[in-house]
C-alpha cells in the first residue's frame, strides 16, 4: 500500500531560474542534391548543403514554460552554414536545431522538444510528436554531443537524450536532452542533429508552398534531481529489520516519486520531512538499539498504515521555481512485538528537486 501526498508543502530552499538561449533551424537541401520526396517526416537522406533559417533570431527563456518557435521559409532570413544563404530545391530535411549560448548559461541545461509540425498550402503535417516511441529511445534528434561540428562545445559526459513520458506539450510524450556547455562563452552552440537517428532520422520537410515549421520547446537551467542516503544518521532497526528507507523514481519537476520503507510493521508508521540534524537518541522512549530522530524542524509528518513496504507518493508541480528545493526525510516505525514506544528509525534520505 502507499499514500499520496497532495501537496509538497515542505520546500526549504528555492532557486529561481533565469537564463536564455538562441534558437535557429538548420535545413539540408537534399532535394537539390538529387533526393526524392515521399512524405513529410520520412527519411530524406543526408546529402546536400545546409542553410540556417533565422540565424540566432529567436530566444528561448529557460523558465520551464513551453514556447513555440516558428520558421517561415518565405519570409525568414537565410544564412549559409555549408550552403549559399538561399534555399535550393522545393524540399529537404530538418537537419538540426542550433542552440547558441548567448546568455552565458552555466550548469546543466534540460530541454524538452515536442510537436514538430510542417504547415504548407496543403495543410499541417506532423513531423514528430514522439507518442509512439519508447521512453529512453532517441527520436528525431541525436544526443547534444553527437555532431562533430559542436561536440567540443559540450562538456564531456554531461549529455543525455531520449523520449520521456514525464512532460509533454501535448499528448503524453516529448523528447528530452540534457547537457552542459564547456564554458559560458556566448559563441558556444550545440548542433542538435537529426543525422541517422534510430527513430525518425533526417525528416523530410517542404521549402515551397509557403512552408512554415513550428516546434514547441521547453527549457530549464537546472541539475537533474537526486535522492541519496545520508551517512550522518545510522539506522536503528527493530526486530523486523526496518524501517529501511528508499526511493522510486527521480525527484524531477512535474513528476511523481515515491519514498518507500521496507520491513515495516505498518501499525504506527510515519515519514518525517524537514532538515537533517545530528541524531537525537530515542533511548528514553524506545528500547530499539540505535533508534534516533535526525529531522528537525519537522515540517511535515505523514502517517502511514498498511502492509510492508510502505510508500508515500510526492507529486511535484510543473513549477521551475522548485528547482534546487532541498528536503530531508526519515521513517519511524513501531515494533508491535515489543509494544510501548519501541520505535525503529531509518537513515535519512537527502532529496534535491531537479529537472
Give the mean model confidence (pLDDT) for residues 33-53. 96
| Residue labelled with grid coordinates 531560474 | 17
pLDDT range class, residue 189, cuts 50, 70, 90: very high
Quick check: 12 pLDDT over 60?
no
Report d(CA 252, CA 303) in Å as an integer.
24
Task: Determine the pLDDT at residue 298.
Answer: 72
Ranking 72-81, 101-110, 192-201 by mean pLDDT, the lowest is 101-110
Averaged pLDDT of the chain: 91
Whether 69 shows a pLDDT value over 80: the answer reads yes
Residue 79 is predicted with a pLDDT of 98
The confidence band for 3, taking pLDDT boundaries of 50, 70 and 90, is low
Q: In whole angstroms, give the CA distance from residue 228 to residue 170.
A: 33
- Rounded to 5°, the CA angle 39-42-48 comes to 100
When mean pLDDT is compared across 289-293, 317-321, 345-349, the lowest value belongs to 317-321
Q: Would you state the pLDDT for residue 224?
A: 86
Q: CA neighbours within 13 Å on the CB side: how many for 4?
A: 5
Residues 331 and 237: their CA atoms lie apart, in Å, by: 11
What's the CA gap between 153 and 190, in Å, rounded? 7
Q: Which uninterrupted H or E stretch holds 3?
A: strand 3-4
Q: Report percent pLDDT > 90 for the chain.
A: 78
Provide the pLDDT confidence category of residue 15 given band limits of 50, 70 and 90: very low
Q: Report the candidate in 134, 132, 147, 135 with the shortest Cα–Cα distance to residue 97.
A: 147
- Report d(CA 130, CA 198) in Å as an integer: 13
Query: What is d(CA 149, CA 291) in angstroms, rounded to the nearest whole number?
Result: 57
Confidence at residue 17, expressed as pLDDT on a 0 to 100 scale: 42
pLDDT of residue 13: 39
Q: Is the pLDDT of residue 305 over 80?
A: no
Instruction: List helix spans (H) across 73-231.
Output: none
What's the rounded Cα separation, in Å, for the pair 269 and 267?
6
Mean of pLDDT values over 316-329: 85
How do beta strands 160-164 and 174-179 pair?
Answer: antiparallel
| pLDDT confidence bin for 55, thresholds 50/70/90 | very high
Whole-number pLDDT of residue 254: 82
Cell of 257: 516519486
pLDDT score at 62? 93
Q: What is the mean pLDDT of residues 72-80?
A: 98
Do the beta carbons of residue 279 and residue 292 sit within 8 Å?
yes
322 φ, ψ (degrees, to nearest 5): -75, -15
Return the pLDDT at 1. 46
Q: CA–CA separation, 81 vs 52, rounded Å?
A: 6
Which whole-number Å values give the CA distances from 276 to 230, 293, 295, 348, in the listed order?
A: 9, 9, 5, 7
* DSSP codes joined into one string, 69-117: EEEETTTS-EEESSS-SS--SSEEEEEEEEEE-TT---S-EEEEEEEEE
Strand partners, 331: 271
Look at the chain and count its residues.
Answer: 355
Residue-wise pLDDT tens digits, 209-263: 999 999 999 999 988 899 999 999 999 999 999 999 999 998 988 888 999 999 9
Q: What is the pLDDT of residue 183?
A: 97
Task: Give tens-digit pLDDT for 171-180.
Answer: 999 999 999 9
Domain residue ranges of the chain, discontinuous segments joined by +: 3-13+225-352, 20-221
Question: Sign of dihedral through CA atoms 236, 239, 243, 244?
Answer: positive
Max CA-CA distance within the chain? 83
Give residue 2's pLDDT: 52
Amino acid at each position: 500500500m502507499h499514500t499520496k501526498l497532495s501537496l509538497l508543502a515542505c520546500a526549504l530552499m528555492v532557486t529561481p531560474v533565469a537564463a536564455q538561449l538562441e534558437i535557429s533551424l538548420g535545413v539540408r537541401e537534399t532535394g537539390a542534391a538529387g533526393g526524392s520526396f515521399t512524405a513529410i517526416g520520412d527519411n530524406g537522406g543526408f546529402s546536400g548543403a545546409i542553410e540556417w533559417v533565422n540565424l540566432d533570431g529567436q530566444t528561448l527563456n529557460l523558465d520551464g514554460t513551453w514556447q513555440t518557435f516558428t520558421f517561415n521559409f518565405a519570409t525568414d532570413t537565410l544564412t549559409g552554414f555549408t550552403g549559399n544563404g538561399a534555399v535550393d530545391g522545393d524540399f529537404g530535411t530538418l537537419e538540426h536545431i542550433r542552440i547558441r549560448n548567448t546568455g552565458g548559461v552555466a550548469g546543466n541545461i534540460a530541454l524538452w522538444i515536442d510537436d514538430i509540425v510542417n504547415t504548407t498550402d496543403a495543410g499541417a503535417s506532423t513531423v514528430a510528436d514522439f507518442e509512439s516511441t519508447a521512453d529512453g529511445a532517441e527520436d528525431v534528434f541525436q544526443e547534444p554531443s553527437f555532431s562533430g561540428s559542436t561536440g567540443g562545445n559540450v562538456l564531456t559526459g554531461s549529455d543525455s537524450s531520449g523520449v520521456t513520458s514525464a512532460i509533454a506539450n501535448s499528448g503524453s510524450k516529448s523528447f528530452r536532452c540534457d547537457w552542459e556547455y564547456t564554458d559560458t562563452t556566448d559563441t558556444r552552440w550545440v548542433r542538435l542533429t537529426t543525422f541517422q537517428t534510430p527513430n525518425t532520422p533526417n525528416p523530410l520537410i517542404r521549402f515551397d508552398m509557403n512552408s512554415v515549421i513550428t516546434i514547441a520547446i521547453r527549457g530549464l537551467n537546472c541539475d537533474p534531481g537526486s535522492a541519496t542516503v545520508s551517512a550522518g544518521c545510522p539506522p536503528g532497526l527493530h526486530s523486523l529489520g526496518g524501517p529501511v528507507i528508499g526511493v522510486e523514481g527521480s525527484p524531477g519537476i512535474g513528476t511523481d516519486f515515491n519514498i518507500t520503507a521496507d520491513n515495516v510493521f505498518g501499525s504506527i508508521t510515519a515519514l518525517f520531512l524537514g532538515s537533517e540534524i545530528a541524531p537525537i537518541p530515542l533511548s528514553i522512549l524506545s528500547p530499539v538499539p540505535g533508534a534516533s530522530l535526525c529531522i528537525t524542524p519537522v515540517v511535515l509528518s505523514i502517517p502511514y498504515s498498511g502492509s510492508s513496504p510502505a510508500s508515500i507518493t510526492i507529486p511535484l508541480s510543473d513549477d521551475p521555481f522548485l528547482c534546487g528545493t532541498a528536503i530531508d526525510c526519515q521513517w519511524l516505525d513501531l515494533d508491535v512485538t515489543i509494544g510501548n514506544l519501541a520505535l525503529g528509525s531509518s537513515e535519512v534520505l537527502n532529496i534535491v528537486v531537479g529537472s
